Amino acid sequence: MVAELELLSQHGCFGGVQRFYRHASREIGLPMRFAVYLPPQARIDAAGGKVPALLYLAGLTCTEETFVIKAGAQRLAAELGLALIAPDTSPRGANLPGESDHWDFGLAAGFYLDATEAPWSSHYRMESYLIHELLGLVTEALPIDAQRLGIFGHSMGGHGALTLALRHPGVFQSLSAFAPICAPVDCPWGQKAFTGYLGTDRSTWHTHDASRLMAAQTRPPFPGGILIDQGLDDKFLADQLLPAAFDRACATVRQPLRLRQHPGYDHGYYFIASFIADHLAHHAQQLVR
């Protein structure tokens, strides 16, 4: 698998290296890009010095560059010995009929699921891409420990982090999110995306809804706790994000959750940069040993 990765660029960063890759994806059927930050600890022993890693899922309109440029995460990741994996949010260049309108309406990006409806089902397979392809590629090609993975994300990516962690037990050992879409079945963004990608049968939607997935658990899936930060000046909070639904679901199954709500913070990357250190520390507590 190593030969499948094309290194586009690399940059020294806090003693480690920030890299950008491209590869031909078997799941997507198109070239995909992703970013990886390797801390200095990952370079000590390329044969066996593997480090834990966090998979970060970005939100609508973002790319593989957005988080690594705007969040300011590398300095603390270097100190903690955490690798950071940041994939693109969706297929590029599928050239499907209506794709530009699809993006303009804000349905967009992959919503971190596998579409079942035409024409999106041919390429929009972000769940399979991440879980069954990308993680295998990076853990084989790079000094990243496949047994010590965490996941987090923002907005649509926060939805992705919560749902993928719950849909694939055992893959991720730690979980957090910034302003996630917590109950997509009940919000306009989710309803538009699920109708387009999954069809009109709402019974299929529930398995991609973090609040419903959590409420269906028989025991707390993340006993080390889940961290969610939410800005109270976020214009999407009331109609789109619905964190109270996830809070109630966690309480139902006794899943430890820190839902922190911050006056004066909105939905953007200034908010993320303000609390990124807390999220990296949250994951490091459960992954670094």
Q: In the annotation, is 234 catalytic? A: yes
Query: Running DSSP on this structure, what letter comes out for residue 190?
Result: H
Angle subtended at Cα 57 by Cα 49 and Cα 29, rounded to the nearest 5 degrees: 90
State the catalytic residue, choosing from 102, 123, 159, 267.
267
Q: In the annotation, is 121 catalytic? A: no
Bridge partners, residue 6, by sequence? 22
Q: What CA–CA distances, in Å, run from 49 to 2, 38, 61, 138? A: 17, 12, 35, 14
In the chain, the amino acid numbered 74 is Q
State the catalytic residue, choosing from 88, 114, 229, 234.
234
Q: In the annotation, is 267 catalytic? A: yes
R_g of the chain, CA atoms, integer Å: 18
Spatial contact of 74 and 18, defined as CB atoms under 8 Å apart: yes
Spatial contact of 210 and 162, defined as CB atoms under 8 Å apart: yes
Q: 88 in helix, strand or coil?
A: coil
State the catalytic residue, choosing from 155, 174, 176, 211.
155
Active site residues: 155, 234, 267
